[in-house]
Amino acid sequence: MTANAAQTKKHVCASMQQAQDILKQWQAELPRVQAAQAAYKASGRLPRKAVGLMMIGCILGVPFGAFAGALALAVGSVFYVAFDAVLKGGAGTPVVFSLIHHGLVLLWSLLSFLGTYLVVGVVSGWIVGSMGRLGRNRNAPVAIAIAIMTSVAAIFVLRVGIRVFMAHEVASQVTLAISSPYAATLLDWVFFAVGGIIMCIAASILAATQCEDPFCESCGVFMTHARIPLALDGVRHLRHILSNVDIPSAAQSLSSTAEKEGFVDLYRCPACQRGYVCVYPEFCGTWLQDNRPQELSEYWLASSCLLEPGKTEQITRILPQQI
């Protein structure tokens, strides 16, 4: 994917109502295309090679996920001890300050706890998803299921490892309920549930994103992806071009922009040059309310089209030369 430094153009509005009115005008002129109407639809195929590689990813994801979680936990623990030492008062500390101290330390401890689950989910999901992509997996639900299974195994290994290699008293002070293989209180179960949900969501997203790019079934490869920023006139012009069966040979080339009001995602097969193009308007309106800046932003799919090899080349020539 080609990165671009263009920033979203911010439209200064007098009020939230004006920003909403402008957004509605954009959406009326460039209506939303539902996901079910998009040109590309994943085949959902699951090659045997992908299954085998994702199983290898599961085996690798457990120790690497646990190790990444241990690093996150270690960093959180260091800051926890430092945070506690800085905020701790003496014997004559007022009750209010003592309560604030305990509250802030508890909050940091909770964030460290949940952050550990997040890191485990991210690493486990990324490893499983990457291995599935190597095997040309197009079945996101299977990748998600294996990633969740991997992250659950990784957090269990981490918890048992902490129990084995750290003194229980130290571990419990620093990591709350994560130190024990079994939750002891209702609050511990709540922590485990919230952490587990965060971990599973992170693992699912990382695993699914690895197989979401369009896949050329004829050539057996994932398509390359480039994202190109456009001004609003460019979005209108490109959508109009894609609505025609034949692209005009003299179609106007679109110029690059430093402040984008939309973007186009172009996918191309590196072998046969077939591809897909998706056009997205992107609105951002700002206004002041009680002297505080407010913002309304939204982007949506306005056009989606399958491109045959010749048409892909024509679209490439029309787009700003940044791909």
Q: Is residue 1 part of a domain?
A: no
Q: Is residue 96 part of a domain?
A: yes
Q: Is residue 274 part of a domain?
A: yes
- Whether residue 74 sits in one domain with residue 160: yes
pTM: 0.75
Q: Is the pLDDT at 301 greater than 50, yes or no?
A: yes
- Whether residue 193 sits in one domain with residue 67: yes
- Whether residue 236 sits in one domain with residue 298: yes
220 C-beta neighbours (distance < 10 Å), count: 11
Task: Tell the burial category of 103 from Cβ atoms under 10 Å away from its Cβ (0-12, 13-18, 19+).
Answer: exposed
- Whether residue 166 sits in one domain with residue 55: yes
Domain interval for residue 57? 48-209
- Whether residue 123 sits in one domain with residue 94: yes
33, 101, 163, 287, 322 from 308: Cα distances, Å: 21, 64, 58, 44, 21
Residue 298 CA to residue 7 CA, distance in Å, equals: 14
Going by the DSSP 8-state scheme, the letter that residue 290 receives in this structure is T
Residue predicted with more confidence, 90 or 86: 86
- Whether residue 24 sits in one domain with residue 101: no
Q: Last residue of some domain: 209, 229, 258?
A: 209
Q: Is the pLDDT at 258 greater than 80, yes or no?
A: no
Q: In terms of Cα–Cα distance, which of 296, 268, 266, 267 is closest to 282?
A: 296
Q: Is residue 2 part of a domain?
A: no
Q: Last residue of some domain: 209, 229, 251?
A: 209
Residue 240 — pLDDT band, cuts 50, 70, 90? confident
- Whether residue 223 sits in one domain with residue 205: no
20-50 per-position pLDDT tens digit: 999 999 999 999 987 656 788 888 899 999 9
160-186 per-position pLDDT tens digit: 877 766 544 444 544 444 444 444 566
Q: Is residue 263 part of a domain?
A: yes
Q: Last residue of some domain: 179, 209, 239?
A: 209
Domain count, the chain: 2
